[in-house]
Amino acid sequence: MILLSLQSMKLMKLVPNAVRMSSTLSRDSNFFFRQLFDSVSSTYTYILGDLNSKEAVLIDPVIEHAERDANIIKELNFKLLYAMNTHMHADHVTGTGRLKSLLPGCKSVIGKASGAQADIHLVDGEEVTFGSHKLLTVATPGHTNGCLTYICHGQQSLAFTGDTLLIRGCGRTDFQEGCSETLYNSVHQKIFTLPNHYTLYPAHDYKGVTATTVGEEKKYNPRLTKSLKEFIQIMDNLNLPYPKMIDKAIPANKVCGLY
d(CA 198, CA 214): 6
What pLDDT is attached to residue 28? 74
171 SS3 class: coil
pLDDT at site 16: 36
pLDDT surpassing 70 at residue 201: yes
DSSP string, 32-84: EEEEEEETTTTEEEEEEEETTT-EEEEES-BGGGHHHHHHHHHHTT-EEEEEE
Mean pLDDT (the chain) is: 91
Task: Look at residue 21 and tell me whether its pLDDT is greater than 60.
Answer: no
User: Tell me, what's the pLDDT at 24?
Assistant: 39
Q: What pTM value is reported for the model?
A: 0.90
pLDDT for 27 equals: 58
Looking at residue 219, its pLDDT comes to 98
Q: Pairing state of beta strands 120-122 and 107-111?
A: parallel
Give the CATH H-level superfamily of domain 28-237: Ribonuclease Z/Hydroxyacylglutathione hydrolase-like (3.60.15.10)
Range of weakest confidence among 2-6, 42-46, 151-155, 209-213 = 2-6
pLDDT, average across residues 153-157: 95
* Sequence-distant (≥ 6) Cβ neighbours of residue 247 within 8 angstroms: none
Contact indicator for 201, 21 with CB cutoff of 8 Å: no
How far is residue 225's CA from residue 231's CA, in Å, rounded to a whole number? 8
Domain ranges of the chain: 28-237
Is a pLDDT exceeding 90 seen at residue 11? no
- Which three-class secondary structure state does DSSP give residue 253? helix
